[in-house]
């Protein structure tokens, strides 16, 4: 194994370490600013101080003092002291090691401090150059940032090139560069504001044009709009608020993304269910074939609304409002947003009675139509027993499920699908095994021969 020392890297850290000793010593003795922590990075040296504020004049004065020490070539040496003799020196920083053999780093006439590790250059001249880069706040303290040696020279020259390029860009001498740039930023902000107003006005005019002649639902215009790429959905949404009544669905395809906006203004909020049904064709139409948003929509008018016939066809069958409200959580919320359990339980009980009525009517029809005398039905019951009843319950559930209590509660309570399936499955299984008894009890109300059921617990074992 061969190990090679990266001397340039190592030497740069020795420069930074020595520069930190010099800077911390000068900060303490000249400005009464203590060092809390230090960090040597790849390119920068940072010193966290105990001050909440350090004026720029102090930072530049520190920079000058460190560079003065570089020119004066102050020697850097090591001393080893006992704990007692080191404590007697009244160092600017407490000694971290215990026992004797305390290693001190001494920068002649500038700083003496205990330093347990790390390498240093032989004298301050080897620091080469000390450059103040700026400051930042950390943990409520000012942290000073510096560059050292060749890297400091690189940073200074890099910033000079940037200043030259900005001067050429703004056609301004260095002395007037800040003022010229400030004026340019102010003008750009003004132009951006004016452009924003123009875009908002354009969105309003385009929306106003599309509202003319579109189908209306209860006096509210319904607009479906495939938006061109040069318009913003945000501007369109703001423009929509200027109208008294409006239902708007705007769709825009941007590269591989489909963006959409739904705006319901005024009385349009009452058309929410209808509007949801009519917006899906527009979304599907925009997605189809991954077309650009600027292509011609289905209605044949660029960016226009769908025709009345298409809207009529897209709505499909409408359920009664009272029926849909049974399965909406909002129906069972109080004014403070909490669930009205009493109202939910009451409607659940009424719904149970309604479903029981459906079963009652179905059984009555079953008797009156003579199905209980049908040979095929009786043979099915005798051959399949409880399993046949289970199939019967399953078939009934298919038709009654949209009104069933075990579907109403999951919708209102927003149950997890696994919990909803568990409850629904449990109710069906329970019905499969207890329904024979229930039917046997009900048979007393509708006398008939050949029923296949008795008041016992379902079919006899021989039937199974």
Q: What's residue 463's pLDDT?
A: 31
Q: What's residue 302's pLDDT?
A: 35
SS3 state at 247: strand
Contacts of 40 (CB under 8 A, 6+ apart): 13, 16, 17, 20
In a domain, 104, yes or no: yes
Residues of the domain holding 299 = 206-318
Residues 150 and 26 in one domain: yes
In a domain, 358, yes or no: yes
In a domain, 374, yes or no: yes
Residues 66 and 126 in one domain: yes
| Nearest CA among 151, 148, 263 for reference residue 204 | 263
Q: How many Å from the N-terminal Cα to the C-terminal Cα in the chain?
A: 84
Tens digit of each residue's pLDDT, the chain (464 residues)? 999 999 999 999 999 999 999 999 999 999 999 999 999 999 999 999 999 999 999 999 999 999 999 999 999 999 999 888 988 888 888 888 788 888 899 999 999 998 877 899 999 999 999 999 999 999 999 999 999 999 999 999 999 999 999 999 999 999 999 999 999 999 999 999 999 999 999 999 989 888 888 888 878 888 888 888 788 888 998 898 889 888 898 988 877 788 888 888 888 877 665 444 454 555 455 444 433 333 333 333 333 333 333 333 333 445 566 666 666 666 777 776 677 778 877 877 787 787 778 778 877 887 788 777 777 777 766 766 656 666 666 666 555 554 455 556 656 666 666 776 676 666 666 665 555 555 555 444 444 444 444 434 444 333 33
Residues 15 and 160 in one domain: yes
CA distances for 27 relative to 45, 59, 73, 75, 296, angstroms: 15, 9, 19, 19, 72
Residues 303 and 211 in one domain: yes
In a domain, 231, yes or no: yes
Residues 345 and 434 in one domain: yes
In a domain, 52, yes or no: yes
Q: What's residue 306's pLDDT?
A: 37
Bin 210: left if φ > 0, else alpha if -120 < ψ < 50, else beta. alpha
Q: Are 404 and 348 spatial neighbours (Cβ–Cβ below 8 Å)?
A: no
Q: What's residue 281's pLDDT?
A: 52
Sign of CA dihedral 341, 344, 348, 354: positive
Number of domains in the chain: 3
Residues 415 and 283 in one domain: no
- Can you give the CATH number for the domain in which 163 is found? 3.30.980.10
- pTM score of the predicted model: 0.50
The proportion of the chain whose per-residue pLDDT surpasses 70, expressed as a percent, equals: 68
pLDDT digits (tens, 9 = 90+) for 336-346: 667 777 887 78
| Nearest CA among 351, 337, 322, 354 for reference residue 409 | 351
């Amino acid at each position: 194994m061969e190990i090679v020392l990266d001397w340039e890297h190592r030497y740069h850290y020795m420069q930074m370490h020595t520069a930190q000793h010099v800077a911390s010593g000068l900060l303490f003795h000249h400005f009464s600013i203590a060092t809390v922590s230090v960090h040597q990075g790849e390119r920068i040296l940072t010193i966290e101080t105990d001050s909440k504020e350090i004026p720029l004049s102090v930072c530049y004065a520190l920079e000058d003092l460190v560079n003065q020490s570089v020119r004066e070539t102050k020697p850097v040496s090591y001393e080893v002291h006992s704990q007692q003799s080191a404590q007697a020196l009244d160092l600017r920083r407490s000694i971290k090691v215990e026992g004797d053999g305390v290693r001190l780093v001494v920068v002649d006439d500038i700083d003496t401090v205990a330093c347990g590790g790390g390498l240093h250059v032989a004298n301050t001249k080897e620091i080469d150059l000390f450059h103040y880069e700026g400051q930042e706040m950390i943990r409520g303290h000012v942290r000073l940032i510096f560059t050292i040696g060749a890297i400091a020279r690189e940073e200074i020259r890099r910033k000079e090139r940037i200043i030259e390029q900005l001067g050429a860009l703004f056609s301004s001498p260095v002395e007037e560069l800040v003022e010229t740039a400030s004026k340019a930023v102010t003008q750009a902000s003004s132009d951006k504001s004016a452009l924003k107003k123009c875009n908002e006005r354009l969105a309003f005019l385009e929306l106003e044009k599309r509202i003319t002649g579109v189908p209306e639902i209860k006096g509210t215009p319904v607009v479906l709009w495939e938006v061109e790429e040069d318009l913003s959905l945000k501007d369109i949404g703001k423009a929509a608020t200027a109208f008294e009544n409006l239902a708007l669905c705007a769709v825009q395809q941007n590269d591989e993304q489909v963006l959409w906006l739904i705006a319901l203004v005024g009385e349009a909020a009452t058309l929410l269910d209808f509007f949801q049904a009519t917006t899906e064709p527009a979304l599907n139409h925009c997605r189809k074939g991954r077309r650009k948003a600027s292509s011609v929509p289905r209605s044949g008018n660029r960016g226009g609304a769908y025709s009345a016939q298409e809207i009529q066809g897209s709505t499909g069958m409408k359920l009664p409002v009272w029926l849909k409200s049974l399965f909406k959580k909002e129906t069972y919320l109080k004014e403070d947003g909490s669930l009205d359990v009493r109202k939910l339980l009451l409607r659940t009980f009424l719904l149970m009675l309604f479903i029981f009525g459906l079963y009652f009517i179905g059984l009555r029809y079953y008797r009156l139509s003579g199905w209980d005398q049908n040979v095929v039905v009786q043979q099915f019951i005798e051959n399949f027993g409880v399993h046949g009843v289970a199939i019967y319950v399953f078939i009934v559930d298919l038709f009654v499920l949209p009104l069933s209590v075990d579907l109403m509660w999951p919708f209102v309570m927003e149950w997890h699908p696994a919990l909803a399936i568990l409850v629904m499955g449990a109710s069906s299984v329970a019905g499969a095994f207890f329904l024979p008894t229930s039917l046997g009890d009900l048979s007393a109300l509708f006398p008939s021969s050949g029923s296949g059921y008795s008041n016992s617990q379902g079919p006899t074992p021989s039937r199974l």
